[in-house]
Amino acid sequence: MWEMWRDPVYVQTFALVMGVLLFLTAVFFFLRNRNTHAQAGWASLVSWSIATPIIFALISAPWPWALIGLGIVATSGLKIFFQLTGMYHRSYFIWASYFGVAALCYAVHIGSRELFNMMPMIFFGSICLIPIIRNSHKQMIQYMALALMAFMFLGWSFLHMGWILKLDRGPYLLIYITILTEVFDNLSLALSRFIGKHKMFSRITPRRNWEAFAIAAPLTIFLAFSFRHLLPERSEAFWLTSGVAAVLGGSLGDLVLSVIRRDLGIKDVGVFIIGRGDFLSVIDRLIFVAPIFYYLMWYLETRPVM
């Protein structure tokens, strides 16, 4: 149990991440009263300083505790999504989604990609029966569409994180891609507050601009290079594709969830520990990063040697 803590690489990675977080938290503590941006940055760093030991402990736990943790995260994301869209009172769709996430976790646990990839169709067929069981048609197309969207994003797509855990050096890969994705997102957002005039998508995410993206993206890829010791191979193919996946996948996830939020006229629902917005805002970047990264790593690990 907890054998990963005997690995110097795991311990050093944890110490490095925590050291950087605590240093930045201390710096922002003295700057937090200067403006709202500094205060938000300090609160976000405090939240990650609390969450990081929990994440490292969970990832290092015996199988399938890490998978169970991911299932809880996915279920929490679904709950927030349904609250956000005003569907939380529709219990049939809610419970169908929760059971669907449990089935996805089971498929990952037994290593059945066939069942995992069949689940979106099984889920869709199941929710199509709900209007018939309820003998109701009012707003059912809307409910079915939103439930399917939530399941695909926060269930099927996000739970590719579980498949990442089953790859060679899976726990390290999970930590690696999470660090890259979070660093890119926070760096891009922070830089957008101080530099740049050309908004990326002004009607969707006015807080971000192309100049900040152009700086954050290469810095994230450099970070991918710096942490390449966590990968199965230190070759360029592994760390470069990982960095690109974090940048492009993370941006896409944030944009898609921003579309949903702005269409509903809602910014945040609930709180993630301290000052980090709602729980959904923490995992939205991973809904596209997880499957992209998993299939890239799976291909690179299984490709024939030339």
Tokens, residue 50? 């609390």
Asked if 200 and 162 sit in the same domain, the reply is no
Asked if 140 and 191 sit in the same domain, the reply is no
Asked if 216 and 102 sit in the same domain, the reply is no
Place of tokens 């169908």: 96
**Residues 120-134: pLDDT tens digits?**
999 999 999 999 999
Domain count, the chain: 2
**Residues 25-35: pLDDT tens digits?**
898 888 777 77
Domain final residue pick, 148, 166, 184: 166
Asked if 137 and 179 sit in the same domain, the reply is no
Structure pTM?
0.90
Give the integer Cα–Cα distance in Å for 48 and 51.
5
Asked if 138 and 203 sit in the same domain, the reply is no
Q: How many residues does the chain have?
A: 306
The DSSP-derived string for 246-264 is HHHHHHHHHHHHHHHHHHH
Domain final residue pick, 125, 142, 166: 166
Neighbouring residues of 83: CB distance < 8 A, sequence distance ≥ 6: 269, 270
Domain around 67: 63-166
What pLDDT, on the 0 to 100 scale, is given for residue 275?
43
Asked if 179 and 304 sit in the same domain, the reply is yes
Asked if 105 and 208 sit in the same domain, the reply is no
Give the integer Cα–Cα distance in Å for 169 and 9.
12
Asked if 237 and 160 sit in the same domain, the reply is no
What pLDDT, on the 0 to 100 scale, is given for residue 267?
57
Instruction: For the beta carbon of residue 191, count every other beta carbon within 10 angstroms.
Output: 19
Residue predicted with more confidence, 24 or 108: 108
Asked if 280 and 306 sit in the same domain, the reply is yes
Flag whether pLDDT at 145 surpasses 70. yes
Residue 265 located in a structural domain: yes
Q: What is the mean pLDDT of residues 65-88?
A: 90
Domain final residue pick, 144, 166, 188: 166
Residue 299 located in a structural domain: yes
Residue type, 59: I
**Residues 208-238: pLDDT tens digits?**
889 999 999 999 999 999 999 999 999 999 9
Residue predicted with more confidence, 194 or 299: 299
Provide the CA 28 distance to its chain's centre, in angstroms.
25
Indicate the pLDDT class of residue 92, thresholds 50, 70 and 90: very high
* 140-150 and 91-110 helices, crossing angle to 10°: 30
What residues form DSSP beta bridges with 201?
A: 205
Place of tokens 């990063």: 289
Q: Are 163 and 214 in contact (CB under 8 A)?
A: no
